[in-house]
Amino acid sequence: GQSLEQPSEVTAVEGAIVQINCTYQTSGFYGLSWYQQHDGGAPTFLSYNALDGLEETGRFSSFLSRSDSYGYLLLQELQMKDSASYFCAVTSASKIIFGSGTRLSIRP
């Protein structure tokens, strides 16, 4: 079957760096993506990794290690508006499966 694990909650300080980890088990793995969801809002796509390594998009970076079935989302220079839930999702040939989400709280 398929499963994803990510921490349920993470707390960080404004201006700092935070890393949200995701480990997965799946067959027919294509890639790992990340979504952000603010309270009361819809999930929005952040990034996608199909190959090993780091992908950077502004303050956000995403990393994948296919051999370790592991990835993470790195958020730098944290801002209060980054307070949200973050979901990792595994894509295979036939479907995309989402994790349970990590709620990121940021303190001033």
Partner 1 sequence: KAGVTQTPRYLIKTRGQQVTLSCSPISGHRSVSWYQQTPGQGLQFLFEYFSETQRNKGNFPGRFSGRQFSNSRSEMNVSTLELGDSALYLCASSLASSGSYEQYFGPGTRLTVT
Q: Which residues bind partner 1 (CB under 8 A)?
A: 8, 30-31, 33, 41-45, 48, 87, 89, 91-101
The torsion region of residue 7 among left (phi > 0), alpha (psi -120 to 50) and beta comes to: beta
Q: Work out how close the CB of 83 gets to partner 1 at its nearest, in angstroms, rounded to a whole number.
A: 17
Nearer to partner 1, 8 or 57 (CB): 8
Is residue 14 within 8 Å of residue 107, measured between CB atoms? yes
Q: Work out how close the CB of 13 gets to partner 1 at its nearest, in angstroms, rounded to a whole number.
A: 25
Beta strands in 40-83 (DSSP E): 44-49, 53-57, 60-65, 70-75
Nearer to partner 1, 17 or 45 (CB): 45
